[in-house]
Amino acid sequence: MRKNSASPFVLLERSGKMTNEEKFDIMPKKNTKSKGNLAMEQEYNKLKYLTLLSKDYPNINAVTEEIINLQAIINLPKGTEVFLSDIHGEYEPFVHILNNGGGIIRSKIDDIFGNLITEKERATLATLIYYPEEKMKLMKQQNEDLDEWYTITLYRLIEVAKKVSSKYTRSKVRKAITNGFGYVIDELLHAQEKNDQDKDRYYQSIIRTIVELGQAESFIIAISDLIKRMAIDHLHVVGDIFDRGKYPDLVIEKLKKFHSMDMQWGNHDISWMGATCGNLASIATVVRICARYNNIDILEDRYGINIRPLSNFAMETYQEDECINFMPKVYDANKYGNRDKKIIAKIHKAITIIQFKLEGQTILRHPEYQMENRLLLDKMNLRKGYVLLDGKKYEMNDTNFPTINPDRVYELTEEEKEVMERLAESFKHSQKLNEHMDFIHQKGQVYTIFNSNLLFHGCVPMEEDGSLKEVEFLGRKVKGKEYFDFINETINQIYLGKDSVDENLLDILWFLTVSPDSPFFGKAKMATFESYFVKEKETHYEEKNPYYTWMNQEEVCNRILQEFGLTEENSHIVNGHIPVKAKSGEVPIRANGKLLIIDGGFAKSYREKTGNAGYILSYNSNGLLLSQNKPFESVEKAIREEKDIISELVVEQTETKRKTVGDTDIGKRLKQEIADLEELLTLYQTGLLKQGN
Mean pLDDT across 47-60: 87
**CB–CB of 493/506 below 8 Å?**
no
Using alpha carbons, select from 82, 88, 111, 352 the residue that is nearest to residue 228. Answer: 82
**In the sheet that 392-395 helps form, which strands lie side by side, from edge to edge?**
380-381, 386-389, 392-395
Query: What's the pLDDT band for 609 if we cut at 50, 70, 90?
Result: low
pLDDT of residue 21: 46
pLDDT one-digit tens code per residue, 340-361: 888 999 999 999 999 999 999 9
pLDDT one-digit tens code per residue, 11-48: 333 334 444 444 444 344 445 455 556 667 777 778 88
Using alpha carbons, select from 172, 160, 3, 158 the residue that is nearest to residue 72. Answer: 172
φ, ψ of residue 521 to 5 degrees: the values are -120, -70
- Contacts within 8 Å (CB) and 24+ apart, 507-510: 507/279, 507/281, 507/362, 507/365, 507/366, 508/474, 509/270, 509/271, 509/273, 509/274, 509/277, 509/279, 509/282, 510/271, 510/274, 510/279, 510/281, 510/282, 510/285, 510/359, 510/362
Least confident of 131-135, 524-528, 639-643: 639-643
Would you call 590 helix, strand, or coil by DSSP?
Answer: strand
Least confident of 248-262, 308-322, 466-480, 576-590: 576-590
pLDDT of residue 34: 56
Give whole-number Cα distances, 112 to 116, 117, 150, 162, 257, in Å: 8, 10, 19, 10, 30
Assess whether pLDDT exceeds 50 at residue 296: yes
pLDDT of residue 633: 77
CA dihedral angle for residue 331, residue 332, residue 338, residue 342, rounded to 10 degrees: -60
Using alpha carbons, select from 170, 166, 157, 134 the residue that is nearest to residue 222. Answer: 157
pLDDT of residue 189: 84
Give whole-number Cα distances, 258 to 234, 235, 254, 439, in Å: 9, 8, 6, 12
Quote the crossing angle between the two packed helices 280-292 and 267-277, to the nearest 10°: 120
Per-residue buried b or exposed e for 269-305, using 16+ beta carbons within 10 Å of the residue's own CB: bbbbbbbbbbbbbbbbbbbbbbbbbbbbbbbbebbeb
**In the sheet that 595-597 helps form, which strands lie side by side, from edge to edge?**
447-450, 453-456, 572-575, 595-597, 589-590
The Cα 147–Cα 6 span in angstroms is: 68
pLDDT of residue 14: 35
pLDDT of residue 174: 87
**Average pLDDT in the chain:** 86
Q: What is the CA radius of gyration of the chain?
A: 30
3 state SS for 88-151: CCCHHHHHHHHHCHHHHHHHHHHHHHCCCCCHHHHHHHHHHHHCHHHHHHHHHHHCCCHHHHHH
Assess whether pLDDT exceeds 70 at residue 649: no
Assess whether pLDDT exceeds 70 at residue 156: yes
pLDDT of residue 588: 83
**CB–CB of 149/143 below 8 Å?**
yes
The Cα 133–Cα 220 span in angstroms is: 9
Assess whether pLDDT exceeds 90 at residue 397: yes
Assess whether pLDDT exceeds 60 at residue 577: yes
φ, ψ of residue 584 to 5 degrees: the values are -100, 5
Would you call 624 helix, strand, or coil by DSSP?
Answer: strand
The Cα 371–Cα 367 span in angstroms is: 7
pLDDT of residue 255: 97
Assess whether pLDDT exceeds 50 at residue 235: yes
pLDDT of residue 612: 64
pLDDT of residue 23: 41
The Cα 109–Cα 126 span in angstroms is: 7
pLDDT one-digit tens code per residue, 91-138: 998 999 999 998 889 989 999 998 899 999 999 999 999 999 999 888
Assess whether pLDDT exceeds 60 at residue 7: no
Length of the chain (residues): 693
Residue-range domain boundaries for the chain: 7-75+667-686, 81-238+576-659, 266-374+408-430
Using alpha carbons, select from 251, 90, 135, 221 the residue that is nearest to residue 638. Answer: 135
Assess whether pLDDT exceeds 60 at residue 276: yes
Mean pLDDT across 59-63: 92
Sort 25 into a burial class: Cβ within 10 Å, 0-12 / 13-18 / 19+: exposed
Assess whether pLDDT exceeds 50 at residue 478: yes
Least confident of 62-76, 142-156, 528-542: 142-156
**Stretch (H or E) spanning 48:** helix 35-56
pLDDT of residue 184: 86
**CB–CB of 542/526 below 8 Å?**
yes
